[in-house]
């Protein structure tokens, strides 16, 4: 992934050249009801029809394999069952020095990825045979174990497996991993990070060293202060009421963790947005409005170690804000991060915070304050006055908390580029300065022609869009359970495309909600 390129966009291009459109991360509200549970996975279409019954890796899955590839170099990989080829294409790019073989080479592989449907009893026997390969048993990843009916076989095999076994609750279908004899300890640390402690508990202790993914290093910083953070657990995998894809703070007592009511931080894939951005864009000065318990603030401090980070939070809001500010300061001090938390309110205290604590204008701003469209506009106006010529502004949970109309108004008055990031759990917005056009800011999107094809296929297969009425009256709502945009009224009705366009401000569906304008990040790459 050189020059800021993001793996899945390159793989999408491969399939596009073969006439196959890949649906990946399309908002579930735009899909037939029967398909919404798989909205996060990759699905291939040719001439409007699915090319296979199965699906491919989701963005969470790709994140896992990307992190694993940085710490594990298998020589031979076997993929058992890969429906339309997406998984193999991703693995080939992630492990360029490995040989990818077929089922006949399963006995000599050091990494085996089992995907697609399989008979549970046969699978259990095969895994058992792999575990009896002497001192050279391989690493086996049973992808989508909880979703594809593989869990009984994985669970049974795990009881006799000679190495460690881990359930990855931070992947879309909860993959199961059977660690091989040659798996490096640093790779095992990565695998444990994507596990958490299960679907109903906060994360247990795990290594927080340089080989660990960034979110796990963050968790380790909070654990050192006597707290724990639940983040990245797919909502369908637990029965908690809180949205645990976003970061949530708990006291660190493993026997009886208590929820700390101090807001939520950005999701794992939203941290990944900034990690991708860091490959090609290095800000000197970062401003954050709304810090809560510091998860996003400290995350940006880790991602951009060469930058000065200033976070503004309003102590007058009461509650546990003071505790969150103090906790953030302690962690930043102990971790040696160039992070300052300022007590103040936006918009009035923004200019002063920048003048007093930064050595120049703001290159990267993250707006995550009071969640109203009025405050969103005030925050942006204050930030705009202190921006550098080349700058990026990110807005948290634009879709999740019904801030779309306000964001659209801001975007219309903005002279640069940007849009919605519909592949992020909170539906983030992002704007970038016109001067950055010289390095071609692009979307990790599905391109607009791809989205038009996907939309046409969806309409043919399901008819008019159905309005989801599972929430209170609103024009646009982000369904936390399925990470999608749902259009809601007081009752369930059918709505035409024309009505839908009017509801979202007259903007064409292909260009806005339906067009994944920026998928996890603004991809900036050199011309």
Query: 3-state DSSP call for residue 506?
Result: coil
Tokens encoding 105: 């080479």
**487, 509 Cβ separation under 8 angstroms:** no
Cis upstream peptide for 347 (omega within 30°): yes
Predicted TM-score of the model (pTM): 0.77
pLDDT at 233: 78
Query: What are the residue boundaries of the structural domains of the chain, listed by start?
Result: 268-445+518-524
Cα 484 to Cα 198: distance, rounded to the nearest angstrom: 24
Q: Where are the beta strands (DSSP E) in 196-295?
A: 227-230, 248-251, 285-289
pLDDT at 55: 84
DSSP state of 142: E
pLDDT the model gives residue 221:
94
Residue 237 token pair: 């995998």
Q: Encoding tokens for residue 102?
A: 């077929």
Check: CB of residue 142 under 8 Å from CB of residue 166. Answer: no
Classify 177 as helix, strand or coil: strand
Q: Are strands 441-443 and 522-524 parallel, antiparallel or unpaired?
A: antiparallel
Cα 214 vs. chain centroid, distance in angstroms?
Answer: 13
DSSP 426-438: T-EEEEE-GGGGG
Q: Where are the alpha helices (DSSP H) in 416-484?
A: 448-462
In order along its 527 residues, the chain shows pLDDT tens digits of 334 456 778 888 888 898 998 887 665 555 677 776 677 788 888 888 888 767 889 888 998 999 999 999 999 999 887 778 899 999 999 999 998 876 666 667 889 998 866 677 777 888 888 877 777 889 999 988 877 777 888 888 888 899 899 888 888 888 899 999 889 999 998 898 888 766 556 666 555 566 678 898 999 999 999 998 888 876 554 444 445 688 989 887 767 778 888 888 998 889 988 988 888 889 999 999 999 999 999 999 999 999 999 999 987 656 678 899 999 999 999 999 999 999 999 999 999 999 999 999 999 999 999 889 999 999 999 999 999 999 999 999 888 888 989 999 999 989 888 888 877 878 889 998 876 654 333 333 334 444 444 344 444 433 333 322 222 222 223 332 222 223 222 223 333 444 434 333 333 333 232 222 222 223 322 11
Distance CA(94)–CA(141), nearest Å, equals 15
According to CATH, the superfamily of the domain at 268-445+518-524 is Vaccinia Virus protein VP39 (3.40.50.150)
Spatial CA neighbour of 198 closest among 221, 173, 166: 166
Contact criterion met (CB below 8 Å) for 170 and 238:
no
8 vs 67, 72, 203, 250, CA distance in Å? 14, 20, 28, 34
Are 270 and 517 within 8 A, CB to CB? no
């Amino acid at each position: 992934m050189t020059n800021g390129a993001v793996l899945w966009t390159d793989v999408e291009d491969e399939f596009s050249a073969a006439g196959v459109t890949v649906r990946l991360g399309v908002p579930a509200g735009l899909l037939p009801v029967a398909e919404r549970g798989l909205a996060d996975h990759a699905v291939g279409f040719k001439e409007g029809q699915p090319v296979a019954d199965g699906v491919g890796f989701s963005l969470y899955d790709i994140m896992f394999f990307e992190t694993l590839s940085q710490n594990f170099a298998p020589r031979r990989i076997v993929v058992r069952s890969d429906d339309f080829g997406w998984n193999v294409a991703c693995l080939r790019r992630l492990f360029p020095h490995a040989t990818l073989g077929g089922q006949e080479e399963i006995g000599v592989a050091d990494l085996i990825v089992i995907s697609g449907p399989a008979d549970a009893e046969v699978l259990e026997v095969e895994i058992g045979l792999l575990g009896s390969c002497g001192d050279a048993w391989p690493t086996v990843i049973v992808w989508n174990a909880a979703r594809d009916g593989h869990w009984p076989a994985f669970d049974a095999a795990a009881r006799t497996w000679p190495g460690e076994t881990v359930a990855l609750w931070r992947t879309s279908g909860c993959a199961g991993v059977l660690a091989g004899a040659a798996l490096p300890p640093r790779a095992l640390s990565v695998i444990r990070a994507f596990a958490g402690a299960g679907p109903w508990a906060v994360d247990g202790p795990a290594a927080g060293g340089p080989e660990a993914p960034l979110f796990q290093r963050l968790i380790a910083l909070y654990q050192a202060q006597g707290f724990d953070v639940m983040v990245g657990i797919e909502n369908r995998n637990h029965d908690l009421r809180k949205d645990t894809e976003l970061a949530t703070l708990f006291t660190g007592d493993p026997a009886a963790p208590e929820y700390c009511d101090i807001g939520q931080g950005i999701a794992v894939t939203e941290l990944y947005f900034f990690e991708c951005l860091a490959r090609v864009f290095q800000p000197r000065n970062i401003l954050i409005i709304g810090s809560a318990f510091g998860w996003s603030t400290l995350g940006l401090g880790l991602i951009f170690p060469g930058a000065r980070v200033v976070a503004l939070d309003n102590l007058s809001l009461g509650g546990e804000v003071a505790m969150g500010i103090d906790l953030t300061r302690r962690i930043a001090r102990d971790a040696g991060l160039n992070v300052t938390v300022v007590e103040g309110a936006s918009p009035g205290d923004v200019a002063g915070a920048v003048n007093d604590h930064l050595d120049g204008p703001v290159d990267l701003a993250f707006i995550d304050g009071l969640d109203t469209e009025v405050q969103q506009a005030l925050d942006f106006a204050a930030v705009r006055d202190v921006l550098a010529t080349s700058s990026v502004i990110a807005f948290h949970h634009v879709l999740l908390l019904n801030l779309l109309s306000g964001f659209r108004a801001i975007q219309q008055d903005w002279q640069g580029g940007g849009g919605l990031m519909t592949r992020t759990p909170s539906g983030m917005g992002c704007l970038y300065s016109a001067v950055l056009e010289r390095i071609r800011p692009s979307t990790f999107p599905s391109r607009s022609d791809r989205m038009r094809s996907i939309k046409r296929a969806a309409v043919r297969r399901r008819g008019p869009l159905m309005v989801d009425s599972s929430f209170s009256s609103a024009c646009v709502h982000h369904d936390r359970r399925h990470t999608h945009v749902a259009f809601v009224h007081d009752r369930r009705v059918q709505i035409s495309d024309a009505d839908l366009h009017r509801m979202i401000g007259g903007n064409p569906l292909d260009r806005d909600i339906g067009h994944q304008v920026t998928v996890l990040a603004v991809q900036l790459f050199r011309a």
